[in-house]
Chains A and B, each alone.
Chain A
Amino acid sequence: KAGVTQTPRYLIKTRGQQVTLSCSPISGHRSVSWYQQTPGQGLQFLFEYFSETQRNKGNFPGRFSGRQFSNSRSEMNVSTLELGDSALYLCASSLGPDNEQFFGPGTRLTVL
């Protein structure tokens, strides 16, 4: 069974640009969560999607957004990038919102 895949694996952007990250969950999983991981802040919850609906959102500015498609694949978008957005962005999928989550390899975003 294929695991969670994330693309791209690495990204370098400059301040002010926008970026879109993609996540394909494990087959049959309907819930996708996104996290930002930095050395100083650890794993911070961004948002969770279930059945194409955002069910919860973490404490991040509106520049961070996401969506989920009917095949459960998800994308997150960050607009007007800031230096502080440099981080590892992790996607995790689960059967449902309260189930075990399985992480993808992450997308390493560097903002210059």
Chain B
Amino acid sequence: QKEVEQNSGPLSVPEGAIASLNCTYSDRVSQSFFWYRQYSGKSPELIMSIYSNGDKEDGRFTAQLNKASQYVSLLIRDSQPSDSATYLCAVNGGFKTIFGAGTRLFVKA
């Protein structure tokens, strides 16, 4: 079992819709959780960090964390074509950050 799992996609949503990205992790001692966006040919860019159970909102982005279920999600509201990218879930614990393989998102204009 991979330590951090994401659906590879591609996930295709129309412009203006909500995109929902999901991630599960296996290490129960994980403490910090992050979402990154990576455009083709570029390095990952931090979108959100979340450390406690519940929701955290930042503009059009909402991160959700459920430690009991070992589940992290990212919602993108009012999706724009510029949101088309690969989204990486990252889980940190014990001086080590593990990344999921990423979900490719396409937002159709």
State the A residues within 8 Å of B (CB): 33, 35, 42-43, 45, 48, 50, 55-56, 58, 90, 92, 97-106
Contact A104 B95 (CB under 8 A): no
Contact of A48 among B42, B90, B96 (CB under 8 A): B96
Contact B99 A101 (CB under 8 A): no
Task: Give Cα A90–Cα B46 distance, bound, in whole angstroms.
Answer: 14
Nearest-neighbor residue (CB-CB) of A102 within chain B: B46
Contact A35 B95 (CB under 8 A): no
B interface residue count range (under 10 / 10 to 19 / 20 to 34 / 35 or more): 20 to 34
Contact B43 A105 (CB under 8 A): yes
Contact A106 B43 (CB under 8 A): yes
Say whether chain A's binding surface is mostly helix, strand, loop, or mixed: strand
Q: A43-B88, A56-B94 are known contacts. Are A100 and B46 too (CB-CB below 8 A)?
A: yes
Q: A45-B96, A48-B95 are known contacts. Are A101 and B46 too (CB-CB below 8 A)?
A: yes
Contact with A along B89-108 (1 / 0, CB 8 A): 01011111111111000000
Contact B102 A42 (CB under 8 A): yes
Contact of B101 among A33, A42, A101, A105 (CB under 8 A): A42
